[in-house]
A = this chain, B = another copy of it.
Amino acid sequence: MVGSAGHGDTSAGAQVVTASILVIGDEILSGRTADVNVAHIARRLDDCGIRLREVRIVPDAQDRIVGALGALRGAYDYVFTTGGIGPTHDDITADAVAACFNVAIFVDPRAVDELRKRYSEDELTPARMRMARIPNGAALIENEVSAAPGFMIGNVIVMAGVPRIMQAMLERVLPRLRHGARMLSLSLTVPRPEGEVASPLAETQSRCPDVAIGSYPFVEADGRLAVNIVLRGPDAQRLQRVADALAGSLGELGIAVESCSQS
């Protein structure tokens, strides 16, 4: 519903903070691993009033990472990357980020200190030391699960791909970011096919352009089609008024709303 991808949009006077996600990993594209990080990050950003506007998934190939990162970091306030910061030969995210920012990358003593919290000197193999290679000028993002840190450079936040580690890093970094006005949502479930509610929905949307109205069909357990109607906006009272008006229009067509929940 919201078309602009730019920085610093304003909506109802509140500053809009935008973000994108870059998932890096052959294993997601081959279907071997189902990504669960996007859904988690999307929910947490929504909690913080940060609007996720685009996601890209690319392979473990430097040119592809650099290309996508260049496009995303110019278009959104923040870019979150997941994957490719481990100790093995296919972990090339840190190098790609350094190339994208045109900065040097070296073993960072602060990152080595983090690794020492977990590993003895014997265990600090060259492979593990690879996880301490951080682009020049980046701030570390510690994590208590694996000890190997992520980092933030400019508006790019680089995190692990393993969900538990990624989640720990995300919680560390979210308080450091600008947050926006939280989008509230109000969902109506209607046990009818989407086609039967389309006309009152379109009418309500055109009368109330300040509330984003989405319509999400689903198949019920018994095979019947139903629809979730989701109203989104920053003002709870306004959402409730628009929902009441919509329920009224549906009622005129003999269509009852099954449930209504606000979040």
Contact = CB atoms under 8 A, between A and B. Distances in A.
A42 B64 contact: no
- Each complex incorporates copies of this chain amounting to 2
A133 interface: no
B5 A88 contact: no
A134 B130 CA distance: 52
Interface in A204-247: 205-206, 212-219, 225, 230, 232
Contacts of A212: 26
A57 interface: yes
A9 interface: no
Contacts of A164: 219
A73 to B, nearest CB: 16
Contact of A30 (B42, B59, B64, B145): B42
Contacts of A89: 198, 201-202, 205-206, 213, 215
29 contacts: A1-B90, A3-B63, A3-B64, A26-B212, A29-B53, A29-B54, A30-B46, A31-B44, A31-B45, A31-B46, A33-B216, A53-B58, A54-B57, A54-B59, A55-B55, A55-B57, A86-B195, A87-B198, A88-B194, A88-B198, A88-B215, A90-B213, A125-B198, A126-B199, A127-B194, A127-B196, A127-B198, A128-B195, A162-B217
